[in-house]
Amino acid sequence: MVRNIFTAKFAKWYKQFILYELKQFRKSQHTYMVIIAVVIGALGGLGALFFRLAIRFFQNVFFGTGYYSLDFALGLPWYVKLLAPAAGGLIVGPVVYFFAREAKGHGVPEVMESIVLHGGVIRPRVVIAKIIASAVCIGSGGSVGREGPIVQIGSALGSTIGQWLKVSGSQLRTLVACGTAAGIAATFNAPIAGALFAMEVILVDFAIAQFSPIVIASVTATVISRHFLGNFPAFEIPHYELVSVYEMIPYAILGILAAFVALAFIFMLYKTEDIFDSVRIPEWLKPFFGGLIIGAIAIFFPHIFGVGYESISMALKSQFTWYFLLLLVGLKLLVTSVTIGSGGSGGIFAPSLFLGASLGGLVGAVVHQLFPDVTASSGAYALVGMGAVASATMHAPITSILIIFELTNDYRIILPLMVACIISVLITTRLKKDSIYTLKLTRRGIDIFKEKDANVLSAVKVSKIMKTDFEAVTPDTPFSRLLKLAGESRKLNFFVVSKEQKLLGLISPYQVRKTARTTPDYGAHLVASDLIMKEKFSFTPEDTLDVVIQVLSQRMLDDIPIVNNERDQQIIGYITKTDVIEAFNMEMVRKDMIHSVSGYISSTQRFKRIRMTSGQVLCEIEAPGYFINKTLHELELRKRYNLEVILIKQNYDPVRREREQVITPRPDYRFQFGDMILLMGTQESIDRIRQIK
């Protein structure tokens, strides 16, 4: 009995000790994030290895060998080439449609969407669905890459770990990027490129705070990959160099051509997707028909099967004729578009490299035939073309340059590579705002550039922080009175108003005291109207703080008067620079809270009421009947009830097999029956909302 009591008390004390130590450890945020990044990097590296094994397994299932090669494919019977991709489509379609819709396509846009809209929250089941769907698609001959799936798998692992540890919103986004970096690094044996891809493409941010964990995760994944696979690059790269300075001209031309190939790739991919979407057959059956098209082409040209690394290596070794390389460009554009457009699962990065190698080899073969003494072999141009098309497709020149540089480990190819990549990106970004990744989000109505660059103060009106205890004086107020006010009042400025309370201008107490020191006979003739500032600024309660802060940053003003409207100019209050800064900080906290909380609200649990340190309450309620079919802008919850809408949980029809979706509040969001709202405000305000019918 005594022993049991002692054991129970010891267990309780030990648990409290562990929790306390963990709490103290988490206070060291940087060290905490680095250690988590190591774990994610290791899991991301292992995930990449497992994904390769899964591809090899399904290659053995569909083609009878786990060590697939082009020579082996050329010897396969025609019916195997035709039916293998179709059979793979019969598996991929149901897995994606019934298990995880996010596994459809190339995966990277889904990761970007989770970062921007959901704070990095990715469902854990995506890992399983993506591994199965993409491994089957690639293993059966689908013309896609393995980089996109590995990015999504690594990101989902990072998100799952972050949600389990209940990290903050900004930390969760960083951990997702850690998973991305780990996947790319393990795939290409390129740790620098992995880190840069995560920051340039996924986060679109190079902040120092998140740089360290991402680099650590990338390095860890590379160590894991090299331990199991050896220190070998993804492609066999012969030795190349810049033969003559005149070669920069054909390399520049290659950059121009790469831009148009990238634009054609983006157009064909989404045009094919639209065509398949318009076909009236079950969604889960479409990959089967896409597989039949791929198989029909592969009967004659099996070079387009799978990720195509062997064909890329042959182009780098100058083993293809120029006219066959031209044919490969057209075929790869078609088959990759069909694979993804029909609902297959796989990445577009490897196809971009394939297109670049074929295009570069084509340009190099022609140039070397015309000017053999001053140009390198076609393989050098194939290598530069890989970077040029990839950078134009992704709008990510830094990542592309570093990947090619890490593959070659030779500085001499860097100059033509930089020229071609920058030219191709300049042209594509000029002609098309969206990359192949962001266009998918734009077509869904998600403007990632707007979401990234949105000013948090644009949603906060002046009326929210306006103060009314201003100090007003009339134009004829004597200087002696102003001097007395300057000594007694703590106001930053005095507002000069007419008898009708119309704003005439501002007077600074500092200017009053300065005048008193420099003008001995000031009391005899000076009045308030003599000291009014030349510049006059004012805002109305309906103006937003993003406009106000621009004025405060451009002018030496500590506060700004608020008038009832532009026509009457009657002063009703003022705001200070400190108030605007505090409002900005509060909005940033609120934005981070949205991302944090959205990851921990499940569709099966209701979020319990939490009393915050500020005295406010965080509480989830069902949308009252009065809210239905009304927008957030129409309801004006912030103005009428002083309530902040943190997030909305939208209720979906279970017949569609889709779970409830957590979304960030937008002014144009229209409430539906069954919506749950997470509100932050005083208990009294929340009780008022509950009473609405």
Tokens of 339: 């694979």
Please say whether the beta carbons of 66 and 57 come within 8 A: yes
What band does 473 get if pLDDT is binned at 50, 70 and 90? confident
Lowest mean pLDDT among 12-21, 312-321, 441-450: 12-21
pLDDT, residue 654, reads: 40
Amino acid symbol at 98: F
- pLDDT of 552 over the 70 cut: no
**pLDDT (mean) for 464-483:** 77
pLDDT, residue 671, reads: 81
C-beta neighbour count of 328 within 10 angstroms = 24
Angstrom distance (rounded) from CA 569 to CA 571: 6
Q: Which fold has domain 599-690?
A: Alpha-Beta Plaits (3.30.70)
3-state SS, residue 612? coil
pLDDT, residue 267, reads: 94
- pLDDT of 613 over the 80 cut: no
- pLDDT of 605 over the 50 cut: no
- How much of the chain exceeds pLDDT 70, in percent? 80
Higher pLDDT, 50 or 558: 50
Provide CATH 1.10.3080.10 ranges for the chain: 16-229, 245-450
pLDDT winner (highest mean) among 53-67, 164-178, 560-574: 53-67
Tokens of 545: 């703080």
**pLDDT (mean) for 251-269:** 94
pLDDT, residue 450, reads: 55
pLDDT, residue 425, reads: 94
Q: What ranges make up the beta strands (E) of 588-669?
A: 610-611, 617-622, 644-650, 661-663
Provide CATH 3.30.70.1450 ranges for the chain: 599-690
- pLDDT of 360 over the 90 cut: yes
- pLDDT of 169 over the 60 cut: yes
Angstrom distance (rounded) from CA 681 to CA 659: 28
3-state SS, residue 568? coil
Cα Rg of the chain (Å, integer): 31
Amino acid symbol at 39: V
What band does 597 get if pLDDT is binned at 50, 70 and 90? low
pLDDT, residue 603, reads: 38
- pLDDT of 61 over the 60 cut: yes
In SS3 terms, 294-335 reads as: HHHHHCCCHHHCCCCHHHHHHHHCCCCCHHHHHHHHHHHHHH
Lowest mean pLDDT among 114-118, 259-263, 291-295, 300-304: 114-118
Q: What is the mean pLDDT of the chain?
A: 79
Instruction: Tell me the pLDDT tens digit for each residue of 362-417.
Output: 999 999 888 888 888 888 899 999 999 999 999 888 888 888 887 777 677 788 99
Provide CATH 3.10.580.10 ranges for the chain: 462-581
Angstrom distance (rounded) from CA 130 to CA 101: 10
pLDDT, residue 659, reads: 47
Closest among 381, 275, 248 to 320, alpha carbons compared: 381
C-beta neighbour count of 292 within 10 angstroms = 16
- pLDDT of 678 over the 90 cut: no
Instruction: Tell me the pLDDT tens digit for each residue of 192-222.
Output: 888 888 888 887 766 555 678 888 999 999 8
Q: Give pTM, 2 decimals.
A: 0.69
* Residue with token string 């008193």: 516
- How much of the chain exceeds pLDDT 90, in percent? 16
Instruction: Tell me the pLDDT tens digit for each residue of 216-226.
Output: 999 999 899 88
Angstrom distance (rounded) from CA 57 to CA 280: 33
Task: Classify 104 in phi/psi space as left (phi over 0), alpha (psi -120 to 50) or beta.
Answer: beta
Higher pLDDT, 412 or 615: 412
Residues 6 or more apart from 639 whose CB is under 8 A from it? Answer: 461, 463
Tokens of 387: 């970077």
Closest among 637, 640, 638, 625 to 671, alpha carbons compared: 625
Segments in 28-168 forming alpha helices (H): 29-63, 70-74, 78-99, 108-117, 125-139, 147-165
Closest among 374, 373, 358, 356 to 319, alpha carbons compared: 358
**Domain 245-450, CATH among 3.40.30.10, 3.60.130.10, 1.10.3080.10, 1.10.260.40:** 1.10.3080.10
CA atoms within 13 A on the CB side of 147: 25
Instruction: Tell me the pLDDT tens digit for each residue of 69-79.
Output: 888 888 889 98
Amino acid symbol at 632: L
In SS3 terms, 563-606 reads as: ECCCCCCEEEEEEEHHHHHHHHHHHHHHHHHHHHHHCCCCCCCC
- pLDDT of 661 over the 90 cut: no
Give the relative orientation of helices 147-165 and 169-188 as an angle to the nearest 10 degrees: 150
pLDDT, residue 657, reads: 40
pLDDT winner (highest mean) among 19-23, 282-286, 626-630: 282-286
Question: Which DSSP state fits 201?
Answer: I
Lowest mean pLDDT among 319-323, 333-337, 551-555, 638-642: 551-555
Give the relative orientation of helices 169-188 and 211-229 as an angle to the nearest 10 degrees: 30
Angstrom distance (rounded) from CA 9 to CA 378: 75
Please say whether the beta carbons of 647 and 664 come within 8 A: yes
Higher pLDDT, 57 or 615: 57
Assigned architecture for domain 16-229: Orthogonal Bundle (1.10)
CA atoms within 13 A on the CB side of 484: 7
Q: Which class does domain 462-581 fall in? A: alpha beta
pLDDT, residue 329, reads: 93
Instruction: Tell me the pLDDT tens digit for each residue of 111-132.
Output: 887 777 666 777 777 778 888 8
Element (H, E) at 679: strand 676-681
pLDDT, residue 454, reads: 45
Angstrom distance (rounded) from CA 40 to CA 182: 8
* Residue with token string 């997702």: 176
End-to-end CA distance of the chain: 57
What band does 297 get if pLDDT is binned at 50, 70 and 90? very high
**pLDDT (mean) for 256-268:** 95
pLDDT, residue 606, reads: 46
pLDDT, residue 207, reads: 59
pLDDT winner (highest mean) among 93-107, 198-212, 315-329, 556-570: 315-329
